[in-house]
Amino acid sequence: MVRRKLSLFIVEKPENFRKKGDVWIEWKGKGSFGAMKHPIYLDNAATTALSPEALQAMMPYLTESFGNPSSIYSIGRSTRVAIEMARKTVARALGVKPMSIFFTSCGTESNNTAILSAVRDLGCTSIITSPIEHHAVLHTAEHYSRQYSLPLEMVALDEDGVIDYADLEQKLKQQQESGLKPLVSLMYANNEIGSLLDIQRVGQLCRMYGAIFHSDCVQAVAHYPINLSESFVHFISASGHKFHGPKGVGILYVNPSLEIAPFIHGGSQERNMRAGTENVYGIIGFAKALELAMEGYAADSRYISGLRGLMRDLLVRHVPGVRFNGPAEGLYTVLSVCFPRSSRSESLLTEMDQAGICVSGGSACTSGEAGGSHVIRALANRDGCTTVRFSFSKYNTAEEIEYTVNFLRSVLSPEKAGVEA
C-alpha cells in the first residue's frame, strides 16, 4: 500500500532551517525543534483530510451535475439517483436496509434527532447515558431531560473509562421495576480516550429491559466493520469528516421497526423526515469514503494500530512518568497521553502548535472548555497530569511519530521541564 508522506517544502531561506533526516525544520534558535513548514497532523479524531478519491467522486456534483434532486427533469433525476445509490452503499456497509439510513448535516444533528425522537415519539420516560459521552449527546440528554422532566442517570465507569455493564443492568432493572422506559445512549468508541463499548451486550440488555438504544458511532463507523443487522440497536449516528469524507454530512440509522415524527419540516426530502435540499456532493463523498474505508479496513487498521503502538512504546521509553488514559486495547486511532505536570507541560499544546504538530487536549468541540476535558475529569486518578490526545490516520507516517516523540523529549526532558513535586 502506498503511504502518502507529507510533502517536503522547498525552503526559501535555508539559513533559517536545518535538515533533520529528510525533513527541513525551521530553526528558531531556542532548541532543536522549531516550527515545521508543513504541519504534522495528529488530530484525526477532530477531523480528517478529505481523501482524493472522495473528492473525485464529489467533483461532478460540485460542477456539471448541479440539478436539484427534487426536480423532475433529467439533471435533477440523475442527482436523485446518485443519492439513492449512495444510500445503498452506506446501508450495505452497515448491513441494513437503505430505508433505515437518513442523511443529516453531521453527527451532532444525528445525536440530537435520536434523543429527541426517543423521548418525544417513542415514549421514553428516562435517559441513561455516561459522563464521557460527547457533548452532542450529554448536553442534548440534559436539555430534554429538563424539558420533559425525565430522570437522567449516568452509568458507572471503570478506571479506563469502560462502562460497568453490571451497573447498567442494575439501573435498567430498577427503572423497569419503577415503570420507566429508558433511552440508553452510549457511544461505541470514545473520541478522547478510545474506550470501546460492547454494543451487542448493551443491545441485549436493552432488549431484556425494554429500553430504546442509541449509540453515537461517530468514531467507530468506517473504523470497524459494523453489522447492525446483528445488533439490537434503534439508532446510530455517524459523521463523514471522521473518515476522510467531507464535513457537513452525517447519517442517522433508524431501526425500521420505529415510527418517529419528521426531524425537520418543510419538504419531502429524506422520505418526508428531513426537509431541505440535500447536500448532494456531501452525501456522495460520505458514501465513497465509507466504501473505501471498509475496503481498506484490514490493512489500514493494522497500519494505524502500528503507529499508535510505536508512539506508545517511544513515549514509555523516552518520557519518564508518562501514563495513558483509556484501555491499552482501545480505539486504534486514538492515544490519550497523561504527561506528568511540569512547568513546561502547561504550555505543551502551544509549543507543539508552534512546532507545527497538531494535537489536542481533548475533543475539538470543547477545546475552549474551562477546567479541562469532562472526559478526563470523569476518570479516577488523573490529577497531576497534562493530557494530550494524539489521533492517527492512514496518512500519518512512522517518521512523523518519531519526530513528535523527539520533540516531546526535548521539551519535557527533566532539566528543561522542571518537574513539579
Summarize as ranges the residues that interact with ligand PLP (CB under 6 A).
106-108, 134, 136, 187, 191, 216, 218-219, 239, 250, 363-365
Q: How far is the CB of 117 from ligand PLP (least distance, A)?
A: 17
**Least distance CB 216 / ligand PLP (angstroms):** 5
* Residue closer to ligand PLP, measured from CB, 256 or 276: 276
Contact status, residue 153 vs residue 171, Cβ threshold 8 Å: yes
The CB-of-363 to ligand PLP minimum distance in angstroms stands at: 5
Instruction: Kindly name the residue from 124, 217, 365, 385 that is annotated as catalytic.
Output: 365
Q: Tell me, yes or no, if 206 is annotated catalytic.
A: no
Q: Which is nearer to ligand PLP, 145 or 191 (CB)?
A: 191
| Residue (100 or 363) nearer to ligand PLP, CB | 363
406: exposed, middle or buried (C-beta count within 10 Å: 0-12, 13-18, 19+)?
middle
Closer to ligand PLP by Cβ: residue 180 or 189: 189
**List of long-range contacts for 295-298, beta carbons under 8 Å, 24+ apart:** 296/1, 296/394, 297/224, 297/225
Q: How far is the CB of 274 from ligand PLP (least distance, A)?
A: 15
| CB of residue 299 to ligand PLP, shortest distance in Å | 24
Q: Closest approach of Cβ 364 to ligand PLP, in Å?
A: 6
Annotate the chain with three-state secondary structure: CCCCCCCCCCCCCHHHEEEECCEEEECCCCCCCCCECCCEECECCCCCCCCHHHHHHHHHHHCCCCCCCCCCCHHHHHHHHHHHHHHHHHHHHHCCCHHHEEEECCHHHHHHHHHHHHHHCCCCCEEEECCCCCHHHHHHHHHHHHHCCCCEEECCECCCCCECHHHHHHHHHHHHHCCCCEEEECCCECCCCCCECCHHHHHHHHHHCCCEEEEECCCCECCECCCHHHCCCCEEEEEHHHCCCCCCCEEEEECCCCCCCCCECCCCCCCCCECCCCCHHHHHHHHHHHHHHHHCHHHHHHHHHHHHHHHHHHHHHHCCCCEEECCCCCCCCEEEEEEECECCHHHHHHHHHHCCEECECCCHHHCCCCCCCHHHHHCCCCCCEEEEEEECCCCCCHHHHHHHHHHHHHHHCHHHHCECC
Nearer of residues 37 and 274 to ligand PLP, judged by Cβ: 274
Taking the complex as a whole, the smallest distance from the CB of residue 251 to ligand PLP amounts, in Å, to: 10
Which of 231, 363 has the CB closer to ligand PLP?
A: 363
Q: How far is the CB of 106 from ligand PLP (least distance, A)?
A: 3
Q: Which is nearer to ligand PLP, 28 or 143 (CB)?
A: 143
Q: Which is nearer to ligand PLP, 136 or 197 (CB)?
A: 136
Report d(CA 159, CA 157) in Å as an integer: 7
Catalytic center residues: 365
